[in-house]
Amino acid sequence: MKNNNTLLLALGITGLASLGAQAQNPLIMDQFTADPSAHVFEGKIYVYPSHDIPAPEGVRQDWFCMEDYHVFSSENLIDWTDHGVMFNQTNVTWLNRKGYDMWAPDCVEKDGTYYFYFPAGGRTGVATSPTPHGPWKVLDQPVNGPRGIDPCVFIDDDGSYYMFTGGISVGKLRDNMVEVENKQGQIGQERIANLPTPGLIEGSWTFKRNGKYYLTFPHAVRNEQGQEAERLEYCMADNVWGPYTWMGVILDQSESGCWTVHHSILEYKDQWYLFYHDRDLSPDFDKNRSIRADFLYFNEDGTIKKVIPTLRGVGTPSAKSKLQIDRYSAISENGAKVDYINREDTFKGWKTIMTEEKAWIKFDRVDFGKKDLKSVTVQASSAEGASVEIRLGKEDGTLLTTVEIPKSEEMKAATAALKTIPEGEKDLVVVLTKGKAEIDWVSFE
Ligand code: FUB
């Protein structure tokens, strides 16, 4: 895995920020990430995920394995800054073993301090920081009161903080932020009633909109083929303690077969987003996951519209960036498909394989700027040589130019001058017109 942070942590250096590549889905392309808790802090989106790693020798190989946390931030949901390792399991003084079970965390701000809650060793730890991205100080005691894993902290309109955990309980955080109390004011939590059964429920996320409480959670159910996996469902209530009423499904079980799904929901610049995870970078092992984001919409009556997962994800990349068209929004039925560049090293990403004339792939919402582009470059290989048309909108939309891809087994850059200069936000379409080609990315200058 391309990650130097373990070494840096061993040297006592934490919190080094680095700019990740531009990303669609998954959002992070240089390490595994799961269980994304997304928040808007200081005008940016911060995502606090779990950090899946391949299990080291001597540690259970077929299970979740996590030893530290990273936090990522973005202003445009395209460029993600990795703020480096927050802390490692060895920094948690009350953990008496290396459990590699630093599971789904969450983070909230109170009076200028950021409280990062994390499950480990069957308890809930807390680390604090003066900023959303560190430096973090792990407190010497776990939180007193939570009944389960996967803490999610919700702030109500009156400034009260509530911690939801496990499957599912809720309690109110006391002012000290390290004790949780039940409705009677005693240390502990209340079990939420009326949740669907049977099926494991975990990893909840609560938010409020138009005075209604939304309690959202993964629920493990059997699909029509008899396979069990988690899907995202939700309940609504008029009171944070309940009673909650089951409302429906937000995200169906993944077609990839990823058993878990874990999520967060937030509004940023007047748009709602669902953050969740799948197994994009680990096709053969669903405990090495990758975080994603897609748009989320509400119906007029406040219910949530089901989210259809996409590769394209969210954010509007500049035409001048390397547009990963394999994260497509639409693709022709025949002659075009996507595969890993190297299945042995999935972090290299994907390529588009085009094998039939008129095959096309569409990548929507590209920012073409102010009519100052002159050429387009296609990074591609072709055993016999090929031609592709670069169009706008649809496969027979405005033709920008035709790019000749020279005969080459290696991916190479092929450039052509633009005959029509695009501007503003438009959908990009690449159409194969001759031969066969494999395309890594497309970029305009
Ligand atoms: O990441 C480990 C566990 O998997 C989380 O705690 C659950 O929510 C599930 O995503």
CB atoms within 10 A of CB 341: 15
Pairing state between β 375-382 and 169-173: unpaired
The pLDDT value given to residue 96:
81
The pLDDT value given to residue 1:
38
Query: What's the gap in Å between 132 CA and the centre of ligand 1?
Result: 22
Place of tokens 């069990």: 228
DSSP 7: H
The pLDDT value given to residue 13:
41
Cα 126 to Cα 139: distance, rounded to the nearest angstrom: 6
Name every protein residue with a CB atom under 6 angstroms from any ligand 1 atom: 34-35, 50, 64, 103-104, 149-150, 202-203, 260, 262
Query: What's the gap in Å between 268 CA and the centre of ligand 1?
Result: 25
Residues near 187 by Cβ (< 8 Å), separated by ≥ 6?
A: 144, 145, 179, 180, 181
Nearest CA to ligand 1 atom 7: 203
Residue 345 appears among annotated catalytic residues: no
The pLDDT value given to residue 20:
57
- Catalytic one among 82, 150, 202, 326? 202
Ligand 1 nearest-atom number relative to CA 149: 6
- Which residue ranges of the chain lie beneath pLDDT 50? 1-13
Which residue out of 64, 261, 287, 292 has the highest number of ligand 1 atoms within 8 Å of its CB and is therefore the one to mutate? Answer: 64
Does domain 4-296 sit in CATH 3.20.20.120? no
Nearest CA to ligand 1 atom 4: 260
Tell me if domain 4-296 and domain 330-444 are identical in fold. Answer: no
Ligand 1 nearest-atom number relative to CA 150: 6
| Domain ranges within the chain, ordered by starting residue | 4-296, 330-444
Beta bridge partners of 220: 230
CA-based nearest residue to 431, from 319, 339, 330, 342: 330
In CATH terms, the fold of domain 330-444 is Jelly Rolls (2.60.120)
Ligand 1 nearest-atom number relative to CA 277: 10
Residue 35 appears among annotated catalytic residues: yes
The pLDDT value given to residue 23:
74
CA dihedral 425, 431, 436, 437 (to 10 degrees): 0
